[in-house]
């Protein structure tokens, strides 16, 4: 079966639903509780490449720390990445990662894109 990792927040219903969909499909993913074990800069960069998205597209803008940091389109990619590494609560969840692709599990059914 595919080697799949999920950046998981057990308190998030979407994250729990995505994990349940993976398990229902017979996948036992590597579960990374990213709030406790945040990705490194290089892990985040590699995942962004697999997601085919810019760092600011992976940021949860409703979090209080987002307003505190005052991030905007004027920030560099490196600044966005550094903000997520230092404040993993900013990372949209869940992120499901395979060898060569990744998806954001919003909606949770996006996990199907990795299983097909």
Domains of the chain (ranges plus CATH)?
A: 5-115 (3.40.30.10)
12 in catalytic set: yes
User: Which residues of the chain fall short of a pLDDT of 70?
Assistant: 1
Give the per-residue pLDDT at 28: 96
Beta strands in 1-116 (DSSP E): 5-7, 30-32, 95-97, 102-104
Residues 6 or more apart whose CB falls under 8 angstroms from that of 9 comprise: 15, 33, 34, 35, 93, 94
- Chain length of the chain: 116
pLDDT at 1: 52
Each residue's pLDDT tens digit, 71-82: 999 999 999 999
Task: Please tell me the predicted confidence (pLDDT) of residue 67.
Answer: 95
> In this predicted structure, what is the pLDDT of residue 40?
97
- What is the per-residue pLDDT for 2? 72
Active-site residue, selected from the candidate residues 12, 53, 69, 82 = 12
């Amino acid at each position: 079966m595919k080697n799949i990792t999920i950046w998981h927040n057990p308190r998030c219903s979407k994250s729990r639903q995505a994990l349940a969909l993976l398990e229902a499909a017979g996948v036992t993913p590597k579960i990374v509780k990213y709030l406790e074990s945040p990705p490194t800069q290089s892990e985040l960069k590699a995942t962004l490449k697999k997601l085919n998205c810019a760092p600011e597209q992976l940021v949860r803008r409703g979090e209080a720390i987002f307003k505190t940091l005052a991030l905007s389109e004027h920030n560099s990619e490196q600044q966005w990445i550094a903000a997520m590494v230092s404040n993993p609560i900013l990372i949209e969840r869940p992120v499901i990662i395979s060898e060569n692709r990744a998806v954001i599990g919003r909606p949770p059914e996006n996990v199907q894109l990795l299983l097909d």
